[in-house]
Amino acid sequence: MAFSPLVDELVESLRCLPGVGQKTAQRMAFHLLERGRTGGVRLSDALRKAMDGVRRCESCQNFADTERCGICERPERHNGTLCVVESPSDLLAIEQAGDYRGAYFVLMGHLSPIDGVGPEEIGIERLIRRVRDESISELILATNPTVEGEATAHYISDRLDGSNVLITRLAHGIPVGGELGYVDGFTLTHAFRGRKPLSD
């Protein structure tokens, strides 16, 4: 059953969000129209402002509403360490953990030749230039432990082969609180390869 064209357009527009199908989009639209019109207007205004004003940081490619993001603006973050992540959500997860104090480079994706995503599309040339221009001493490859993430990390490492940059990879293994009987073979293999001495 079709509603008015405006309602149908609202439902279809909400479906652009990840994980939102027809039914979920209808529930969201009906909620906004029935009980959340003030919130809907605020959401609409915030979306318009974000779509018009958010860009990529000229230094790290993270989301920003100025030329350089807040992290890149802080001099103490430029300590010779650069962490490469696939997305702004990965950067946010590392920041929320609170232990890393260096700079970032956000790829906005990973290499995927089958999808037409090559080095140019994710800014690898910009990354290589930044590593050389800023005298980076350690490059942390924090791409996801997927086939594409691993391929991206290896490609970046190969491009910097012969440089004086220490290239490291985030450790993969058993999560804290996990039980061996429930861990998949791929994760166990990485855990064994990445084992280290037990320190006091």
pLDDT in tens, the chain (200 residues): 567 899 999 999 999 999 999 999 999 999 999 998 999 999 999 999 999 999 999 999 999 999 999 999 999 999 899 999 999 999 999 999 889 999 999 999 999 999 999 999 999 999 999 999 998 999 999 999 888 999 999 999 999 988 889 999 988 777 777 777 777 787 778 777 777 776 54
Residue 11: phi and psi, rounded to 5, are: -60, -50
Alpha-carbon dihedral angle through residues 96, 63, 78, 138, given to the nearest 10 degrees: 80
Supply angle C-alpha 13, 32, 12, rounded to 5: 15
The predicted model scores a pTM of: 0.82
Provide the sign of the torsion angle of the four alpha carbons 130, 134, 137, 142, taken in this order: negative
C-alpha 82/C-alpha 138 separation (Å) is 6
Domains of the chain: 5-53 (1.10.8.420), 56-169 (3.40.1360.10)
- Three-class SS state of 71: coil
Can you name the residues that pair with 85 across neighbouring β-strands?
A: 106
Residue 10 CB: number of other CB atoms within 10 A?
19
